């Protein structure tokens, strides 16, 4: 395998999703406490960031066609790094809004383009594990956000933002000359992938619904442990780090499994693991059950993304990039809708357990659609 290409791809997802989305989460309450933004506006920035992600996912193909694949990847990493630096300046909602939207769009471009660019340079037998290594960057970013950002905040919010910007620039420099240029995906694909490939719609729906399945853990896991179970904050941090560590290692293992038993079987198995992960808190809230749920969900949530990337190529052939772009946007859109719906459900019931019941119910539909 081409190690340089893997380093570049992992760096892209680490910056585009791991840092700009997940490392941003612990900064929000600090911004509210420091009086930079009221709580409602700070929450609105999260939704705006996801909206930018959807725009980036839909527009990634156009950007790559206009600028070229490698320049598009380099440019998106520079934009994400610059947005961190711009957020170091204190301002109101109208100041932060464009930078968080642009950062989200950069993340969408990186997710859509980085995986196919790296996979295209790999031998077919190694494409599953390659996709896993690329998306392992998301988990590394989760761990970095959970561990490093709280250490940066005592120095001040501007310093924390600038440190994230410096990290982004370092990742950009690390990947700059490592992007493969001899195996780029085709710039132009013909037709509508969903119309010409019957399995495409089922894959797209299964992948989108898998986003709903893991939403309770991805958005409410620390809150469930602290407020729902009345555990200490440091206990929730330990389980969240376990989630991130599994998300860093799990995708490569899932990809290797796909190379061994076939991507379709591996994808179906990962959907089963997601069901188990979301169902465990309904059976037990012991430390062992919470740890198992953290690890399984971390590995299976990002592992599903790695396998879906490989599967789109198998299902749609030359239209695989189009299907991957649409699937990425569908995943983000489904998680956004699920986030708002589950927030309403929690407000109506006052219990996190209903969120896990909802995720479990949706997981069965995803399993039906994603079965071999």
Q: Is residue 180 part of a domain?
A: no
Count Cα atoms within 13 angstroms, Cβ side, for 184.
16
Same-domain check for residues 235 and 288: yes
Same-domain check for residues 371 and 228: yes
Per-residue model confidence as pLDDT tens digits over 202-225: 889 999 999 999 988 887 888 888
Same-domain check for residues 239 and 160: no
Q: Is residue 291 part of a domain?
A: yes
Q: Is residue 116 part of a domain?
A: yes
Please give the average per-residue pLDDT across 270-284, as a whole number.
95
Counting the structural domains of the chain, the total is 2
Percent of the chain, pLDDT > 90? 45
- Nearest-angstrom CA–CA distance, 285 and 280: 8
pLDDT of residue 193: 43
pLDDT of residue 197: 61
Per-residue model confidence as pLDDT tens digits over 104-163: 999 999 999 998 899 888 888 888 888 889 989 999 998 888 888 888 989 999 999 999
Same-domain check for residues 143 and 205: no
Q: Is residue 188 part of a domain?
A: no
The CATH number of whichever domain residue 35 belongs to comes to 1.20.1250.20
pLDDT reading at 191 higher than 50:
no
- Nearest-angstrom CA–CA distance, 164 and 129: 28
Per-residue model confidence as pLDDT tens digits over 43-78: 678 778 888 898 999 899 899 989 999 999 999 999
Give the residue numbers spanning the domain of 126. 1-172
How sure is the predictor about 321, in pLDDT bands with cuts at 50, 70 and 90?
Answer: confident
List Cβ neighbours of 301 (8 Å cut-off, separation of 6 or more): 210, 214, 217, 218, 247, 274
pLDDT reading at 284 higher than 90:
yes
pLDDT of residue 354: 93
pLDDT reading at 185 higher than 70:
no
Percent of the chain, pLDDT > 70? 94
Same-domain check for residues 41 and 112: yes
Same-domain check for residues 128 and 239: no
- The values of phi and psi at residue 228, to 5°, are -75, -40
pLDDT of residue 221: 86
């Amino acid at each position: 395998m081409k190690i340089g290409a893997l380093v570049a791809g992992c760096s892209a997802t680490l910056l585009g999703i791991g840092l700009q989305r997940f490392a941003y989460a612990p900064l929000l309450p600090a911004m509210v406490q420091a009086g930079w933004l009221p709580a409602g506006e700070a929450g609105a920035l999260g939704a705006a960031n996801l909206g930018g992600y959807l725009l980036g996912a839909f527009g990634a193909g156009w950007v790559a066609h206009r600028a070229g694949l490698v320049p598009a990847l380099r440019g998106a990493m520079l934009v994400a790094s610059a947005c961190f630096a711009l957020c170091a300046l204190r301002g109101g909602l109208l100041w932060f809004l464009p930078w968080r939207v642009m950062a989200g769009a950069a993340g969408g471009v990186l997710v859509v383009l980085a995986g196919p660019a790296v996979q295209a340079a790999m031998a077919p037998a190694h494409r599953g594990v390659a996709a896993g290594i690329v998306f392992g960057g998301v988990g590394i970013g989760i761990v970095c956000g959970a561990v490093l950002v709280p250490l940066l905040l005592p120095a001040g919010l501007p310093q924390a933002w600038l440190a994230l910007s410096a990290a982004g620039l370092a990742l950009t420099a690390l990947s700059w000359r490592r992007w493969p240029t001899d195996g780029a995906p085709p710039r132009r694909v013909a037709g509508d992938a969903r119309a010409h490939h019957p399995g495409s719609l089922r894959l797209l729906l299964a992948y989108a619904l898998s986003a709903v399945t893991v939403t309770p853990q991805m958005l409410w896991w620390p809150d469930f442990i602290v407020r729902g179970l009345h555990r200490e904050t440091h206990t929730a941090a330990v389980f969240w780090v376990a989630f991130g560590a599994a998300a860093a290692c799990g995708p490569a293992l899932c990809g290797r499994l796909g190379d061994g038993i076939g991507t379709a079987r591996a994808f179906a198995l990962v959907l089963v693991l997601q069901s188990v992960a979301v169902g465990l808190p309904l059976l037990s809230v012991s430390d062992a059950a919470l740890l198992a749920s953290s690890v399984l969900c971390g590995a299976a949530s990002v592992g599903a993304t790695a396998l879906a990337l490989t599967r789109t190529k198998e299902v749609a052939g030359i239209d695989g990039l189009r299907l991957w772009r649409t699937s990425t946007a569908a995943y983000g859109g489904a998680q956004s809708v699920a986030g708002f719906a589950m927030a309403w459900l929690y407000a109506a019931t006052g219990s996190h357990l209903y969120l896990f019941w909802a995720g479990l119910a949706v997981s069965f539909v995803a399993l039906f659609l994603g079965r071999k």
